[in-house]
Amino acid sequence: MGDIVIASRNRGKIEEIRHILAMDGLNMRDLVQLRHGADIEESGTSFEENALIKARSVFSAYGIPVIADDSGLVVPGLGGLPGVRSARFAGPGATDERNNELLLKELEGLSRNEREAHFVCVAVFLLSPGEWYTAEGRVDGRITARPAGTGGFGYDPLFYLPEYGKTMAQISPEEKNAISHRGRAFRNIRIYVERYVH
């Protein structure tokens, strides 16, 4: 039996990871189950650094392998912003609505090409402080002029997917999981988890 901790308190993310990584012999726990209360300061300058900061912090608390990730929206036309600051783009404790409002304000007057964007997720599977594996997932799209759709969270209502003709917030959860940056990253990390379990 292989034990791992999912370094998250986000129930939606936890369920998505559990679904992707589910396999015989793997026992997954998460920070909600473990009543892990301490906030982890994500002070890295890249998604990989932040995922490793989370993984190492949780490993130091429990001493068993950890799955962690960091993700965000990258708009090259804004020099890569919001990037690693995606969740707090409009300031500490910012709501999704405030982050979206600021993003639209920053994009005012930019051309369609300058509104191209991508979601990135870097997943980390940390076996010990000196041994870890990383995998990246990415999905490309464009930022719309106004929000559309009620599904998803974060920047999903502004993230237009040309192949669907809809925003990320307008497609079904099943469609989103099939193409999302997080889904892709965790499907890519699964091979290392299988190796650990078997």
Catalytic residues: 70
Q: Which of 192, 187, 193, 188 is nearest to 20 (CA)?
A: 187
Q: Please classify residue 94 by burial: count the beta carbons closer than 10 Å to its beta carbon, then call 0-12 exposed, 13-18 middle and 19+ buried.
A: middle
92: three-class secondary structure by DSSP: coil
58: three-class secondary structure by DSSP: helix
Question: Which residues fall within 8 angstroms of residue 82, CB to CB, at 6 or more apart?
Answer: 72, 73, 74, 75, 89, 99, 103
126: three-class secondary structure by DSSP: strand
